[in-house]
Amino acid sequence: MKVRIDEDNCRGHGICCTISPDVFDISDDGYAVALVAEVSASQEESVSTAAARCPERAIILS
């Protein structure tokens, strides 16, 4: 699974970082960034949960 953040939609709530801190972080600008482009099988569940709980729907999975 691939993951990326839609920078136009992210508002920096940080929910993704709380749910999956090994995949997401907050940049110096205060917005989420994906630390990896490819999610491992062991990370898929938490990343999917983070995407579902993102209030701005800024996490894009493919």
pLDDT level of residue 9 (50, 70, 90 thresholds) = very high
- Residue 51 is predicted with a pLDDT of 98
Tens digit of pLDDT for each residue in 26-36?
A: 999 999 999 99
Q: What whole-number distance in Å separates Cα of residue 62 and Cα of residue 11? A: 21
Q: What is the mean pLDDT of residues 2-12?
A: 97
Domains and CATH numbers, the chain: 3-61 (3.30.70.20)
Give me the pLDDT at residue 57, please.
98
Work out the angle at residue 54's Cα, subtended by the Cα atoms of residues 32 and 13, and round it to the nearest 5 degrees: 50
* Over residues 14-23, mean pLDDT: 98
C-alpha 39: how far from chain center: 11
What band does 50 get if pLDDT is binned at 50, 70 and 90? very high
